[in-house]
Every structure is written in structure tokens, then in C-alpha cells.
Amino acid sequence: MPQVTLTVNGKQHTVEVENRTLLVEVLREKLALTGTHVGCDTSQCGACVVHVDGISAKSCTMLAVQAAGTSVTTIEGLAKPDGTLHPMQEMFREHHALQCGFCTPGMVMSAIDLVNNHPGGITEQEIRDGLEGNLCRCTGYHNIVKAIAAAHPLMHGKA
Amino acid sequence: MAFEGIGASVRRKEDARFLNGRGNYTDDINRPGQLHAYVKRSDRPHAKINSIDTAAASKAPGVVAVFTGADIAAENIGGLPCGWQIHNKDGSPMAEPPHPVIAVGKVRHVGDPIAVVIAETKQQAKDAAELVAIDYTDLPAAASLAAALAPGAATVHDDVPGNICYDWHIGDKAIVDGVFANAHKVVRLDLTNNRLIPNAMEPRAAVGDYDVNSGEYTLYTTSQNPHVIRLLMGAFVLHIPENKLRVVAPDVGGGFGSKIYHYAEEAIVTWASAKVRRPVKWTAERTESFMSDAHGRDHVSTAEMAIDAQGTFLGLRVSTQANMGAYLSTFAPCVPTYLYATLLAGTYKTPVIYCEVKAVFTNTVPVDAYRGAGRPEATFLLERLVDAVAYDTGIDRVDIRRRNFIPADAFPYQTPVALQYDSGDYQTTLAVALKNADWAGFEARRTAAKARGKLRGIGISTYLEACGIAPSAVAGSLGARAGLYEVANIRVHPTGSVTVFTGSHSHGQGHETTFAQLVVDQLGVPLDQIDVVHGDTAKIPFGMGTYGSRSLAVGGSAMVKAMDKIIAKGKKIAAHLMEASVEDIEFANNTFTVAGTDKSKTLTDISLTAYVPHNYPIDELEPGLDETAFYDPKNFTFPGGCHISEVEIDPDTGTVAVVNFTAVDDVGRVINPMIVEGQVQGGIAQGIGQALLEAAIYDESGQLISGSMMDYTMPRADNLPNIHVATENTMCTHNPLGSKGCGEVGAIGSPPAVINAICDALKDYGVRHMNMPATSGKIWSIINAGPSKMAAD
């Protein structure tokens, strides 16, 4: 079986995988990082979004072997070691942008990448369009959109 | 300290774990030595099973066991039980065919379990399932209501001729027919309520873990009501006594009704874990969810309103066909009857109502309660029919509602369909909604939209729902096979912190916060010293779980009753310590005082004394400060309100954009406004999904065409508007909190508001009615056919 070495949340791991093993299976089953979720089997829901070398990726649609040599950040790696939340996590809490919490890790990871990609500012429509790859069944997105808009100035040092 | 009690938008206690990826969902649970189950499912809608060959699968790498329906049958395991019995018009009970855990002899829908493969890894189990060889003889299928009711239709169950589960009615047909015969005018509407697939974001999962030493079974499962699962599975399916069966529903990623029911996979992993003497885990792939989670809605109805010359409603007559799917899911029979027909008075003083409902078996996934459950079907029918009355008579849509509302001074109000409403003020919720939505300014917006080439419409829905289910005796008399109380245990610890053990279950509703706020309010304990525990039959005395917007109205009321007992006992202890009469002890702000004196003891003084009873009225009182209450509601609660939707249609594409959505709901006492707003917004999103996007579609052969998230349109962020939510509350009069419930109002009130807006936008095209979902293709066809074409669908 192939061996894959990758860095997850700053820590290097070497794991044995099958050729068909998905990145999300490595995270959840080999590394016990169960914050990354699987909500569908057609790459539609985005519950599995992580950052691979700083860019959001659906970890259910990426083979583990493709992640060899990369640096992966999952929801567990966002807060500072002292527990201080990332501004996006903090705004999700402040604006009640989560209910059951299942889509939340992928939603937060996607939202961070979205805001990173709009340094000059982001409109409501750009947020809604940018969430195209993430499903939430609880919130109706209203508060998620609000949270992301509120996180933008915090992430870009404008608040 | 910031205010944390009733009425504060306290940020949620549960968020820290979810935002850091530390939630504990069922699929996150792994037991030592755990095996993985994969369920081999029927790809045939209706077929005789001639043989199942499991030999190759059994020898595949990693496989530990393969079980079929024959293995289950050999163990004398019961079928999946139905929790509600409906009686036919003639008084005979409904047809209740067996629902085997794993199919025996015949499969009845795509997704019906045929075998379960248990292996060391999930992949090995799935690979081996490919090797299970099944020889079928295909049978003709009845894949829709129309097909199942057609002469010569295929029979889903051999012993249920004509596929009729029940033929039920409510109301006096002769009286209603008499009213119709003499009415000034009768307005008729034929309509369907589209079948939906709940799609909570967390797929169902279950882990069974049998302890050979104690003989105890533990089931971890994605459930809204673990005690109900323990009762149903223990007593009826696996015959395990409650003391040997623990059911844990940990963090659950959304339910919306679909996780109420007892599903086959729960019984399979529990039973199999004892057979193979190792824990067994099963997690649904989303494709399996589509073909095995209970679906929702799926009605075909004819509705008629008799009116006088002023548009006064004189009588309502409804005939409905309701799709049950291939088997009766746990609560399916009550949805199109007591959760539907009893809501047909709505907010109106219609004096007489008759409704008949035929429930029908088809070769489709079982249908059961989905957010709103019967009430969205009733509301869509009624609020569309009211708009049709306005359309046919030329009376203004708002005026006709105002004219027919039950007035605010008429409560308690007895409807002609069994329910007695306790409170409400429909004129006020309507007036506030009209103001918030700037109804008066709409025509200017329509004109402006027209200048931009868009068709703009506005729609209104003045809905009512019944929730807080239910007085047990009433539910029992209507066919429920369970009580519907709720249970709370309040434990004040020696040093004054509090743990709440509740039979309600939170799967997104934020109970850990809201319920703690109830304790802040009543006992004066700070929020950070209160924990709410739910979802574990080993920790909680009993519980009926969360559905039908009942948690606060019923579960919260149980907490209030338990805290009343805490205070009553605390007063006795305080009286002893302060050498006063119990009658003179008052409790407020976490402190017991002797009336008219400066003597006081904090709750912590009292709790410490209760657990260290050195100076204690020991002859009179037991030590400890730990009380349990079972609260059985006196009535349903009746949230209601007004939803207004504004849409713009692009005539070139037929695409509908909901550009404004305004809700004014009466949900009774609000504990946490932020959470209520979120609940309503989420419900409205599902309602807009039903109105515009979502439909479970079977082809004539019984294949589920919309069988994945690539085919079934889930609402996304760019499909939805900002949702303006307000409340205008009257108090529930019969529970101690005054709360009515807010979980379902959004899904109930919104679909007709959206369709009414679309019909308004298309009024120049002669559109009187449109069934859901109002897809762009459907609308484009109407626009393309030109003005004045009558829309058939």
C-alpha cells in the first residue's frame, strides 16, 4: 500500500493508504480529526472542505495520494493554541451562523478562503455566489452571509 | 453580569465545540474492535426475490458475516412497528402490513434492504456487497398515487387490495354538502403538495455495541428521540428489555423529522453486534439517505370553499390522497389526518369543514413527518384556496383574509375540526407584516421592475399551526400508541451548579443555551454554572424527544415544574435553617428570604445543606436537591402569523428570485430571540425550497430520478434572500412558559406566500394556480405561451 506523508495542522504524518483512499478518510479515520465531515457522495455539500496549501478543497474529492507533500489545515487547526478563535469562527458564533453544526467546519473553511480572495471588499452577492459549493439545511444562510461579511474587515485588518 | 435570562439573545453554549471541530456526531464514534456494515439495497422498485447467494461475499477479504432477511426471520425478530393507528370511515382499523427489518421474499421500493455485509473496513463491506447475487422476478410497480389507485394497479402488499392503507374522514359530510348546495358560490382548486426529501446535512448513522459480560446493548444513533427508539426497538423488534438497552443520540446534525423514526439499520447493527460479538457501525452514504430516509409531503387534493356574496367562508370541503410509500414509517398515518385535516380551519372562522383522506401504499420510500408534517400541506391548500377565492371574486387578497379571521376576542376558539385554539391575534400579525413588507408601496416596485424587464409579484399567507404535541390522552384517543409528555430532571449540585437532564433532544435548536436560560430565570444560577444533558437513555429518566416544535412548550414546561419542586423543597430547608415558617419563605434571584426580614440564604447555602444534612429537617425531608417532573401538556399550542413574499421573474428564463421575504410570527413567549430568528429563517429556507426547487421524482417504473444532491435541488445561498423575521406574540394560556414553538412556522407559512407571489407576478398570463416547485421551466413555458393562457399545472 502506498505511503503518504503530509502535514496536517502543522504536524507531519506518514500514513499507509489504499490507492483509492480519500483525503477525508485519512483525516477522519487515520488521524482522528473528525471535525471534517462527509455530508454527500457527489461533491455537492462542502461539509468536507479543508485548506490544502492554503486553498479550500473538498477533501472527499481528493485522493490521499494527491495530498502527499502538502500542508493541510482542518477546522481543528484554526483556533490559536490558547483557544482564541479565528475571526471567522468568532463571527459565526456572534451572528448565530450555525445550528446543528454539521456543515459548519466546511462552511467556515470555505468562507475563509472566500474572504482571503476578496481583499478589497466583498458584497453580499459575492458571498452568496461564493458559497455555491456549500450546503446548509438549518440556517437559510442569512446569518452565515452576515457572519462572513462581518469577518471580512477583521481578517483584512480593517476593523 | 450581562442579562442571561428569558428574552436575552445569549450566544450559544454549544457553538465552541462545533466551531472547533469537536462535535461528537454518531459517525465520529468508534468503538474498540469495531466492524463496519454495508447494506445491500434493492435497485428494483417491486420484485420477487427468488434467491440470494451470499457465498462469494462471505469469502471476500475482511468479511466477518453476511445476513439476509432469512437470518433475521430465523431469530423471531419483529418488524418495524408503526406508532399510530388510524381508523377507516367505517370504524375498521387501517391496513398495517408487516415492515420487515430486511426484506423477505419481495422488495417493495428502490432502497429496500436485502442483505447486510459486515467486514473489518467499510470499503471491504462495500466491495463484498457487490458480490451478493440476487435473482429477482420484476413485478409491475405502483410508483405514484395515480398509478396505485388506477384500476388493475400493481399491489404493493398482497393482503392490501387496492393499495388503500386507510380511508378516513373528519366532519359531517351531509351538513357540509348542504352548505355547498345553498352557497352563493363555490371556488374549487385542484392541487398537489410535492414530495420532498429532508436531507439533514448529517447522513444517518448507527453503532451497535453488545457487552457480552453484562448482556447490555448500546446503540449510538442519529435520533431525535433516543427513548422512543429504545422503546420501539427494544419492545417490538429485538425484544431487549429497557434495562439491557441503552440508546445514545449524541450530537445530531439536523433532523427535520427524518430522524424521529425507528429505522432498520438501528436494529441491524444492534442485533448484529451480539451475533458477531464486536461493535458494528453503519453510516449512510448520501445516496442511501435519498432511498432510505423517510420522505415528506406527497399529497394530491381537491379543495372547495363555499362563500356568500361578500366572500364570507361558509364551508370547506377537501378530498386528499396521501402517499404512504411502501411501508408505514413510525408516525406516518397521523400526518395526513390529525396533523393535517385538523388544521384546515387555519386562521378563519369557517363554520363547517369536511375532509376525507385516502392513504395509499406505493412502491416508493416510506413517507412520514418532515418539518411541519401535515400542517404545511394544510396551509398550502388553504392559503392557495383563499387566493383562488380572491381571484374568482375580485375581492382583495388582504380584505378577504381580514373578513374571515377569527377575531382576537374569540379565544378560546373551537374549530369545526376538533382543535380548540387558546390564543392568537391574526389581525395584528397581518397588520405588522403588511407594514414591515411595505405592502402599500408594492405597486411602485412592480412598475419599477417592469421597467427593468422583470415581472414582480407579491404574495401573502396568514397561517396557523398546531404544535407542542400533545395531551397524551387526546393523542391516545386519536390512535397514538405512545404518551406525549416530556421529562426533566433538575439536579442542583452541592455547591450550587445545576445539571438539567432533559428528554427533549437538540439537533440544531440550541437547547443547551435556551434551556439553561430557563434555569437562569427561575433559579438565578449563572449561565456558566448550568449544563444541559440530553440524548442518552442511561442518563435521562425518560423522554419523548424533539419534533413538532414541542421542546420548549412541553420539555421546557417539564423543567419549570421540576424547578418548582426544587424551590418548594428549598423553602422547607431554608425555613428550617432560618427558624421561620415555610409560608414566610420567598425565593427570588437565587436567594431564599424570610418575608419582612433581612434573613436570607442563597441557593448554594441550601444545596450544600441538602447534601450535608447536619442541621436539617431529616424527619420531614430526604437529603439532596434533585427533582424530576413529567409534564403532560393540556392542549396543543397554536403559533400563527403572516408571511409575505415578493418575487421577481425573469421572463427570458422563467427564473424566480425571491427578492423580499417578511415574516411576522406569533410564537408565544420567546426565550432567546436570536435563536428564534434563526429557527424561523431556516424553516422559511426549506419552505422556499419546496416552493421553488425541491421535488422527489420517481419515474413510472419506480426509479428515484432525483436520487442524489446532483439531481435533487437543495436551496443554496444564492437561491435565497435575506429573510426579515419579527415576532408579535400572544401567550399560550395553558403552559407555564406561555411559549408556543417556532421550529416549524417557517416551513409551514412560507410555501403559499411564495406561490401566491408568483401567481400575482403572472396574473396577466391568466395564472390562477401553480403547483410546487415553480421551476423556471414551468414558468418559462407559461410566459412563452403568451398572455391569457390558463396554466394547467
The ipTM, to two decimals, is: 0.98
Q: Would you state the cell numbers that stand for residue B666, as one nine-digit string?
A: 406569533
Are A62 and A113 found together in one domain? Answer: no
Residue B54 has pLDDT above 70, yes or no: yes
Residue at which a domain ends, from A30, A57, A77: A77
| B344 and B337 Cβ atoms separated by less than 8 Å | no
- The shortest CB-CB distance from B709 to any of A40, A78, A138 is to A40
Count the domains in chain A.
2
| Banded pLDDT at B787 (limits 50, 70, 90) | low
Give me the residues of B, 716-745, that contact A with CB < 8 A: 716-718, 720, 722-723
- Residue B791 pLDDT grade (very low, low, confident, very high; cuts 50, 70, 90): very low
DSSP B432: H
What does the pLDDT average to over B590-612? Answer: 97
Find chain A residues with C-beta within 8 A of B715's C-beta.
Answer: 140
Regarding whether A28 and A73 lie in a shared domain, the answer is yes
What cell numbers appear for B740 in the block? 408556543
- Exposure string of B130-159, with b = 16+ CB inside 10 Å and e = fewer, is ebbebebeebebbbbbebbbeeebbbbbee
Q: Which residues of A touch B746 (CB under 8 A)?
A: 140
The dihedral built from the CA positions of residue B533, B553, B753 and A127, taken in this order, carries a sign that is negative
Kindly determine whether residue B708 and residue A40, on different chains, have CB atoms separated by under 8 Å. Answer: yes
Report the pLDDT value the prediction gives residue B793, as an integer from 0 to 100.
Answer: 45
Q: Please answer whether residues A74 and A36 qualify as being in contact, where contact means their C-beta atoms are separated by less than 8 angstroms.
A: yes
List the 338-397 stretch of B: residues with Cβ below 8 A of A.
Answer: none
Give the three-state DSSP class for B508: coil
Q: Is the pLDDT of residue B341 over 80?
A: yes
**Which residue in the block uniquely carries the three cell numbers 447534601?**
B611
Cell digits for B416?
369545526
Cα–Cα distance between A44 and A64 in angstroms, integer? 19
For residues A4 and A17, the answer to whether their CB atoms sit within 8 Å is yes
Q: Say whether both A94 and A147 belong to one domain.
A: yes
| pLDDT tens-digit map of B436-452 | 999 999 999 999 999 99
Give the burial class of B486: count Cβ atoms within 10 A of its Cβ; 0-12 exposed, 13-18 middle, 19 or more buried: buried
Residue B217 in grid coordinates = 446493548
Record: contact B678-A96, CB cut-off 8 A: yes
* B12 touching chain A per CB within 8 A: yes
Contact status, residue B672 vs residue B517, Cβ threshold 8 Å: yes
Residue B12: list chain A partners with CB under 8 A.
Answer: 93, 96
Domain match, A105 and A123 both: yes
- Which among B682, B710, B715 is the nearest to A99, CB-wise? B682
The number of C-beta contacts closer than 8 angstroms across A and B is: 175
Q: Is A108 found in the same domain as A53?
A: no
Say yes or no: A91 and A36 in one domain.
Answer: no
pLDDT band at B104 (very low <50, low <70, confident <90, very high): very high
CB-CB under 8 Å, B717 with A141: yes
Residue B789 pLDDT class (50, 70, 90 cuts): very low
* Domain co-membership, A70 together with A121: no
Mean of the per-residue pLDDT values of chain A: 97
Looking at every residue in chain B, the average pLDDT score rounds to 97
Q: pLDDT per residue over B393-420, tens digit each?
A: 999 999 999 999 999 999 999 999 999 9
Interface contact flag, B254 A139, Cβ < 8 Å: no
Q: CB-based contact (8 Å) between B27 and chain A?
A: yes
Q: Which of B772, B781, B790 is nearest to B191 (CA)?
A: B772
**Cα of B428 to nearest chain A Cα, Å:** 26
Does a structural domain hold residue A67? yes
pLDDT in tens, B462-495: 999 999 998 999 899 899 988 899 999 999 999 9
The stretch B367-387 carries a mean pLDDT of 98
Tell me the chain B residues in contact with residue A144 when contact means C-beta distances shorter than 8 Å: 717
Q: Using an 8 Å Cβ cutoff, are B70 and B101 in contact? A: no
Compute the distance between CA of residue A49 and CA of residue A109 in angstroms, rounded to an integer: 6
Cβ A63 vs Cβ A22: under 8 Å: yes
Whether residue B788 is predicted with pLDDT greater than 80 in this model: the reply is no
- For chain B, domains (ranges, CATH) are 18-139+201-254+259-292 (3.90.1170.50), 299-469+635-785 (3.30.365.10), 485-631 (3.30.365.10)
CA-based radius of gyration for chain A: 15
The one-letter code for the residue type at A62 is: M
Asked if A46 and A96 sit in the same domain, the reply is no
Taking chain A, what is the end-to-end CA distance rounded to the nearest angstrom?
50
The HSE-up count of residue B297 (CA atoms within 13 Å, CB side) is 33
The H or E element containing residue B106 is: strand B106-107
Query: Are residues A39 and B254, on separate chains, in Cβ contact within 8 Å?
Result: no
When CB atoms are compared, the residue of B20, B251, B717 closest to A145 is B717
Q: Which residues of B touch A39 (CB under 8 A)?
A: 201-203, 253, 286
Which among A38, A96, A137 has CB closest to B675? A96
Q: Look at residues A31, A51, A77 and tell me which one is the last residue of a structural domain.
A: A77
B535 Cα to chain A: minimum distance (Å): 14
Same domain, A55 and A14: yes
Residues A103 and A39 in one domain: no
Query: Which one-letter amino acid corresponds to residue B153?
Result: A
Q: Which domain-ending residue is among A46, A77, A108?
A: A77
pTM for this prediction: 0.97
| B160 contact partners, CB below 8 Å, separation of at least 6 | B95, B97, B361
Query: How are beta strands B313-325 and B352-361 bridged, if at all?
Result: parallel
Chain A residues touching residue B710 (CB < 8 angstroms): 42, 44
Q: Going by DSSP bridges, is the β-strand pair B113-119/B63-68 parallel, antiparallel, or unpaired? A: antiparallel
Give the pLDDT band (50/70/90) at residue B422.
Answer: very high
Determine, yes or no, domain membership for A20: yes
Assess whether the previous peptide bond of A68 is cis (omega < 30° from 0): no
Q: Is the pLDDT of residue B276 over 80?
A: yes
Within 10 A of B586 (CB to CB), how many other CB atoms are there? 15
Torsion from C-alpha of B746, B747, B751, B752, nearest 10 degrees: -70
- By C-alpha distance, the chain A residue nearest B709 is A44
| Predicted local confidence at residue B28, as pLDDT | 98
Q: With beta carbons under 8 A apart, name residues in chain B contacting A18.
A: 123
User: Residue B709 and residue B286: Cα distance in Å, rounded?
Assistant: 8
Task: Classify B690 as helix, strand or coil.
Answer: helix
Interface check B749 vs A, CB under 8 A:
no
User: In the prediction, which pLDDT does B35 show?
Assistant: 98
Residue at grid coordinates 404544535 = B467
What angle do the packed helices B426-436 and B397-404 form, to 10 degrees?
160
Contacts of B223 in chain A (CB under 8 A): none
Q: Is B455 within 8 Å of B449 (Cβ atoms)?
A: yes
Percent helix, strand, coil in chain B, to 5, is: 30, 25, 45
Looking at the structure, do residues A121 and A96 belong to the same domain, yes or no? Answer: yes
Q: Which domain does A50 fall in, by range?
A: 3-77
CATH code where residue A111 lies = 1.10.150.120
Across the interface, whether the CB atoms of B19 and A94 are under 8 A apart is answered no
pLDDT band at A3 (very low <50, low <70, confident <90, very high): very high
Q: Kindly state whether residue A12 falls inside one of the protein's structural domains.
A: yes
Q: Are strands A3-8 and A71-73 parallel, antiparallel or unpaired?
A: parallel
A41-A46-A52-A56 Cα dihedral, nearest 10 degrees: 140
CB contact under 8 A, A138 and B18: no
- B430 sits in which H/E element: helix B426-436
In the predicted structure, residue B191 carries a pLDDT above the cut 50: yes
CATH number of the domain within which A54 lies:
3.10.20.30
- Count of C-beta atoms within a 10 Å radius of residue B37: 27
Cβ <8 Å between B201 and A41: no
* C-alpha–C-alpha distance, residues B171 and B341, integer Å: 10
Is residue A47 in a domain? yes
Q: Which residues of B touch A128 (CB under 8 A)?
A: 717-718, 720
- DSSP secondary structure string, A46-111? -TTEEEETTEEEETTSSBGGGGTT-EEE-GGGTS-TT-PPPHHHHHHHHTT--SS-SSHHHHHHHH
d(CA B259, CA B229): 10
Q: Cα–Cα distance between B570 and B74 in angstroms, integer? A: 56
- What confidence score (pLDDT) does residue B790 get? 45
* CB–CB contact B714 A135 (8 Å): yes
Give a yes or no: residue A82 inside a domain: no
